[in-house]
Structure 1
Amino acid sequence: MEFRKAYLAALLAVTVVAGCSTSPSSKTRVYETPVVAAPDGLTETPPALTAARSQLASMDADERIASTLSWASSYLNEKQAADASQLLSDLNPEKLNSEQRFAWLLLSGRAQLSQQQTEKTLSLLQQHQEEILQYPAEQQAQLDLLRADALAMKGELLSSLQQRIAAHPLLGDEDQDYNHNMTWQLLMQMPNTELDEAIDSSSGDLRGWLTLAQLYRDPIADLDAQITRLNQWSNQWRSHPAIDNVPQMLDALEKAASQRPSQVAILLPTSGPLKNAGAALQEGIMTAFYQQQKSGHTPTLRFYDSGSDDVLAVYQQAITDGADFILGPLSKDNVATIASQGTLPVTTMALNYIETDNRPDNFFQFGLAPEDEARQIANHAARNGALQAGVLYPEGEWAARVANAFANRWQELGGSVTITRTYQEGPSIGETVKEMLLVSQSQQRGNAVSRFTSLKMDNQPRRRQDMDFLFLLADPNQGRQVKPALNFHYAKNLPVYSTSLIYSGEEDPRRDQDLNGIRFVDMPWILTDDNQALHEAANEQWPDGHGRYERLFAMGIDTYRLQGRLYLLNALSSSELPGVTGRLHMKNQRIVRELNWAVFSSGKAKTLPQTTEAAQNIPRAITSQ
């Protein structure tokens, strides 16, 4: 995890650690002169909290304060946020001078946020609010940014935006870069209805940000209309903080408009084992197509059956018929066949993922890869400070592939997998869970100790303690067996994360009570009704929905959207598309989805507040040069 070098660098790295009298560079400068004098010969940060406390106990007051602040900063940089919090709690803020109290307050807040303790951070700031109001404006702005981060992590996106925009003019250059990026990320996550309501009640720079996000986020709008609106925005908001970014956005949109296809060939199976999946995708594509027809330019669409054995012949026929953009094919084998052809005659976006290092420059991939969901869960758990994971998945090649995707990403992030188990659906699940949790061993150890001591022992069985959470791969029926077994075997409070496989997409409170507490990722189309016009159009045409193919129907909507904006995502690395299957961005010619989070509560899937990854990469302000 990469942490931002920012406003405490000067205080902690220069004045606290070095005791130097020179000013830090203008990029990271917070204070003109040293504010905390560090003792000569300050030792390196002890790797363990116990060692740090032992050394601090032998220091005089000034040395102990300086060392505590410096070492807490180092612990945050090393992702030891809990140690940083405990070290800072040993200081009495009433014994600190103003600059030391500012450092203590900012470090304490960052340490709490890195442990997802948003309420503690907000309470800390509120508790010291009167004192904060006496700080110089620059320091107040930095603490406002801390508050904004806490609000973003809590899911209060509009409140976070208000704090950020108010503090922005007083921040240093690097803090402004971070704040600018966070503002845009929050705007990309804000639900459409909330965005519209916020515009009506806002003014000043906030209104400028909100209207810019609204016009950028409209993926159904005609590109020419978006360009016109963006030019109008630029004329209206000439002094807005985002104005410097608009030319790059305009340039990308103009090039996307100039390169948009006029005839799109769509290769989907209308025969063979994937025909139902192909039908759901086609219906999603046409739903989005009809919606865009209402607002502007649409390409000609031609559908081809890719269910035959000779996908190359189908592909060539589409080219012969005049296609200048191809969507599909769907099956992995067909995707691999197209990708192996070298340079392709037209831009092609396959509707599945394959692993290949030799892809053509104009070959892109989009799909609903469960491996991506598994990797997102690993990212989330790491940001929450977890270190040890358990993995439980059903027997089979497909499940093993998803479990491996999670484990590989988790280990890349520095985590460890302490236990991996497979299960078979049926009565044996309970025994598998019990064995995985080492409950029998805890009972045996307790009985053994009781036989050889006269002490009264607590023989209550316990689960293993070397597991911060469980990555569970299960469908609803499997999950309804696994979670009760976890609860029964003393793991009721063990966090359980799962992919969208765990949710059928349809409310079933009576049966899904057994899934209570499981957190999972899923697409906005399933969890929210924020895309109201599309939902209404879909419900009108297909009132019974698409059952288990509903997610593929949603993929069809985003598939159509992407054909007009693929250039934008590819050319502008910071761009993303708020799609119905997730927030979409491009990485190595591959569309990557970031999904929403939900939790089962009272048998229903309850959407959790949406927070950005950047908002959770919290001890960014504490590192030194």
Structure 2
Amino acid sequence: MEFRKARLAALLAAAVIAGCSTTTPTRTTVYEQPSAAKVGTAPTALSAARSQLATMKTDARIGAALQWAEHYLDQQRPGDAGQLLADLNPQAMDNEQRFTWILLSGRAQLGDQRPDDALALLQRHEDDILQYPAEQQAGLDLLKADALAMKGDLTGSLQQRVATHPLLEDEDQDYNHGMIWQLLMQLSSSELADAIEDSRGDLLGWLTLAQLYRDPIADLDAQVSRLNQWSAQWRTHPATDDVPDMLDALEKAVSERPSKVAILLPATGPLKNAGKALQEGIMTAYYRHKQDGNPPVLRFYDSGGDDILALYQQAVQDGADFILGPLAKDKAATIANQGTLPVTTLALNYIDQGELPENFFQFGLAPEDEARQIALQGAREGASQAGILYPEGEWGERVAQAFAQEWQSLGGTVTVTRTYQEGPTLGDTVKELLLVAQSQSRGQAVSRFTSLDMDIQPRRRQDMGFLFLLANPNQGRQVKPALNFHYAKDLPVYSTALVHSGESNPRRDQDLNGVRFVDMPWMLSNEDSQLRRMSNEQWPEGHGRYERLFAMGIDAYRLQSRVFLLSTLPSSELPGVTGRLSMKQQRIVRELNWGVFINGEARALPKVAEPANNSRTREITAQ
């Protein structure tokens, strides 16, 4: 079973999630009725289901309600499932029915993003749960672990999963093993360090393994040594079987790491400011590495000129065994078109090209990737319909198209797409997007033909689970108030990092309240790391609009020693400052964090776990 890492988040006051894929073992979620008591397929409408159930005798009604509730859960209808389950009296059930009722009720509550209710449910029925066989208790323990993660208590969820692990059967242990690793990858460095101080037993083993595996700055030799030490110390640990693959990959990465790195960045020309921010990020990571290990020799070349091939060949002749850059897309494509390259090359941009040299890799900050992550997030939350609002122009068209293609590939429907221009017409565009005028005119037309009091208040369209908004801060400050004014204050709005300036401006950003967005950890986290302190001391004013490129420079330096590892070990990743980095088809893929505007401030959302009832997520995760 493959477990993809993903991020989710609880929207503090609103309890809305942006999430990660989790599933519970299927064998503990199915209630099998006696064959003589089988019922038909669940009615499509909840009202019809409740009407049919009302005509049944008690035992048949319980069996049918449990089966139909599970069917609704599989269709991402946790609210309907919860209502069927709430109509039942658990005291009228036998032990097997009551177990299924507890499990399905908890799944429905998690599907509605109500982890506190799920935890309260498990607490109320604690005495009943203790009477069940160990396997069934373990299934409910995993439900509790999901609820804790959804609340943002990743450490508590880990503790629950580790304690439950020995009680699970082999297949469920595979699932739980993967989920433990996901949670470990989602903990921040400070959370991981704090948990290590407070833990013991198998949990401590998991935590220390994750810490040494995740360390992005550690010298590779040191990581190999520490991994061998971990294996000797934790011979009987459940994760021991994973270590040989890690060791083998790390040892190969040691043999492949570069000793001389050539860095092709523009010091002149239109991209020189971007090149300067990247260079400063690279050097910050270099000096941080120098404190703990043996960094490679770096040599910078100005790629602002016209002949990128001559510059590339000069770097090779100078002894470079790894080349970082160039930044310009056309120059990266020129190098890729040369066929087999003499040294491994990591371009600092993405190019539109099919077949690439096997030692040519790409890393950049593509907004299209952010759009795709938002689409995947919407699918994981169970949404099926989305709207798109983006600025006129080729750039907006390209990013909106990336979202739409990903969304449709996941089975979603784009119900409306609109472009906009900043200025006085933007409010009208939002009104048109929401079909408010049509709603109002229909209500007025109906009122002419009746003497009854009619509610003719205008309403927005209801065929959008969320709105994908592509906007910079100024544009977003116009769009969100317009949405609120036109009866769409409750419509979830997801945006790319573009909407987040990175600078605190509570007075102006009040107008962005409620907007959720993806952004790199460097822009959302205030974690007091040595790297952050070095950056603040050297550049106390930051890098303004180039701050994300500075962060990209940090990760670009780290990647020069990790490209081999990422390309040869499919499960390998680098917890970077620009996101969680992994490799897909010679392309570094970033998984970003989630943030939300509250009281005019951009706040990082806690990392939590997704309800375990989302079968659509299971399908997506398995792809």
TM-score, normalised to structure 2, is 0.92
Q: For 2:426 and 2:452, locate their aligned partners in 1 and report how far apart those are by CA, in whole Å.
A: 36
Asked if 2 retains the 8 angstrom alpha-carbon contact of 1:69 and 1:88, the reply is yes
* Greater displacement, 142-151 / 75-84: 75-84
- Does 2:491 match 1:473? no
Corresponding residue to 1:522 among 519, 523, 543: 519
* Greater displacement, 442-451 / 572-581: 442-451
Q: For 1:181 and 1:11, locate their aligned partners in 2 and report how far apart those are by CA, in whole Å.
A: 19
Asked if 2 retains the 8 angstrom alpha-carbon contact of 1:7 and 1:621, the reply is no
Q: Which secondary structure state, in structure 2, belongs to the residue aligned with residue 564 of structure 1?
A: coil
> What is the CA-CA distance between 1:597 and the residue it aligns to?
0.9
What amino acid does structure 2 have at the position aligned with 1:114? G
Q: Could you give the per-residue CA deviations for residues 104-143 of structure 1, whole angstroms, max 9, x where no partner exists?
A: 2112222332333322222221221222122222222211
Q: Which secondary structure state, in structure 2, belongs to the residue aligned with residue 138 of structure 1?
A: helix
Q: For 1:512 and 1:350, locate their aligned partners in 2 and report how far apart those are by CA, in whole Å.
A: 35
Corresponding residue to 1:608 among 594, 605, 610: 605
Q: For 2:123 and 2:318, locate their aligned partners in 1 and report how far apart those are by CA, in whole Å.
A: 67
Corresponding residue to 1:129 among 109, 126, 130: 126
Corresponding residue to 2:357 among 360, 368, 376: 360
C-alpha change, 1:596 and 1:331, in structure 2 (3 Å) is same
Q: For 1:372 and 1:346, locate their aligned partners in 2 and report how far apart those are by CA, in whole Å.
A: 27
Q: For 2:597 and 2:24, locate their aligned partners in 1 and report how far apart those are by CA, in whole Å.
A: 39
Q: Which secondary structure state, in structure 2, belongs to the residue aligned with residue 585 of structure 1?
A: strand
- Indicate the residue corresponding to 1:544 in structure 2: 541
Corresponding residue to 1:190 among 176, 187, 191: 187
Asked if 2 retains the 8 angstrom alpha-carbon contact of 1:507 and 1:604, the reply is yes
- Does 2:276 match 1:258? no
Q: Could you give the per-residue CA deviations for residues 225-267 of structure 1, whole angstroms, max 9, x where no partner exists?
A: 1111111111111111111101111111111111101111111
- Does 2:131 match 1:113? no
- Does 2:6 match 1:9? no
Asked if 1 retains the 8 angstrom alpha-carbon contact of 2:65 and 2:85, the reply is yes
- Indicate the residue corresponding to 2:306 in structure 1: 309
Asked if 1 retains the 8 angstrom alpha-carbon contact of 2:74 and 2:613, the reply is no
Unaligned segments of structure 2, at least 5 residues: 4-20
- Does 2:168 match 1:171? yes
Asked if 2 retains the 8 angstrom alpha-carbon contact of 1:524 and 1:582, the reply is yes
- Indicate the residue corresponding to 2:318 in structure 1: 321
* Structure of greater relative contact order (alpha carbons < 8 Å, 6+ residues apart): 2
- Does 2:502 match 1:505? yes
- Does 2:413 match 1:416? yes
- Does 2:233 match 1:233? no
* Greater displacement, 378-387 / 213-222: 378-387
Q: For 1:231 and 1:421, locate their aligned partners in 2 and report how far apart those are by CA, in whole Å.
A: 56
Corresponding residue to 1:575 among 572, 578, 581: 572
* Greater displacement, 133-142 / 597-606: 133-142
- Indicate the residue corresponding to 1:279 in structure 2: 276
CA RMSD of aligned residues (A): 2.3
Q: For 1:41 and 1:198, locate their aligned partners in 2 and report how far apart those are by CA, in whole Å.
A: 48
What amino acid does structure 1 have at the position aligned with 2:328? S
Q: For 2:69 and 2:484, locate their aligned partners in 1 and report how far apart those are by CA, in whole Å.
A: 37
What amino acid does structure 2 have at the position aligned with 1:216? Y
C-alpha change, 1:120 and 1:5, in structure 2 (3 Å) is closer
Q: Could you give the per-residue CA deviations for residues 342-393 of structure 1, whole angstroms, max 9, x where no partner exists?
A: 2222111111112322112111111111111111111112222222111111
Matched ranges for 1:30-179 at <5 A: 36-39=33-36, 42-50=39-47, 52-53=49-50, 55-179=52-176
- Indicate the residue corresponding to 2:492 in structure 1: 495
- Does 2:401 match 1:404? yes
C-alpha change, 1:343 and 1:87, in structure 2 (3 Å) is farther
> What is the CA-CA distance between 1:10 and the residue it aligns to?
7.2
> What is the CA-CA distance between 1:480 and the residue it aligns to?
0.9
- Indicate the residue corresponding to 1:214 in structure 2: 211
Q: For 1:200 and 1:622, locate their aligned partners in 2 and report how far apart those are by CA, in whole Å.
A: 35
> What is the CA-CA distance between 1:73 and the residue it aligns to?
2.8
TM-score, normalised to structure 1, is 0.92
Q: For 1:611 and 1:444, locate their aligned partners in 2 and report how far apart those are by CA, in whole Å.
A: 43
> What is the CA-CA distance between 1:616 and the residue it aligns to?
4.7
Q: For 1:450 and 1:254, locate their aligned partners in 2 and report how far apart those are by CA, in whole Å.
A: 77
C-alpha change, 1:10 and 1:605, in structure 2 (3 Å) is closer
- Indicate the residue corresponding to 1:22 in structure 2: none
Corresponding residue to 1:332 among 319, 329, 334: 329
Q: For 2:406 and 2:476, locate their aligned partners in 1 and report how far apart those are by CA, in whole Å.
A: 23
Asked if 2 retains the 8 angstrom alpha-carbon contact of 1:261 and 1:325, the reply is yes
Aligned residue pairs: how many? Answer: 601
Asked if 1 retains the 8 angstrom alpha-carbon contact of 2:595 and 2:604, the reply is yes
What amino acid does structure 1 have at the position aligned with 2:82? S
Q: Could you give the per-residue CA deviations for residues 496-552 of structure 1, whole angstroms, max 9, x where no partner exists?
A: 111110111010111111111111111111111226111111111112210000000
Q: Which secondary structure state, in structure 2, belongs to the residue aligned with residue 326 of structure 1?
A: strand
Q: For 1:166 and 1:121, locate their aligned partners in 2 and report how far apart those are by CA, in whole Å.
A: 19
What amino acid does structure 1 have at the position aligned with 2:598? S
C-alpha change, 1:206 and 1:620, in structure 2 (3 Å) is farther
Q: For 2:617 and 2:603, locate their aligned partners in 1 and report how far apart those are by CA, in whole Å.
A: 35
Percent of pairs identical after alignment?
Answer: 68
- Indicate the residue corresponding to 1:20 in structure 2: none
Q: Could you give the per-residue CA deviations for residues 426-457 of structure 1, whole angstroms, max 9, x where no partner exists?
A: 11111111111111112211221222211111
> What is the CA-CA distance between 1:166 and the residue it aligns to?
0.8
C-alpha change, 1:269 and 1:344, in structure 2 (3 Å) is same
Q: For 1:215 and 1:331, locate their aligned partners in 2 and report how far apart those are by CA, in whole Å.
A: 35
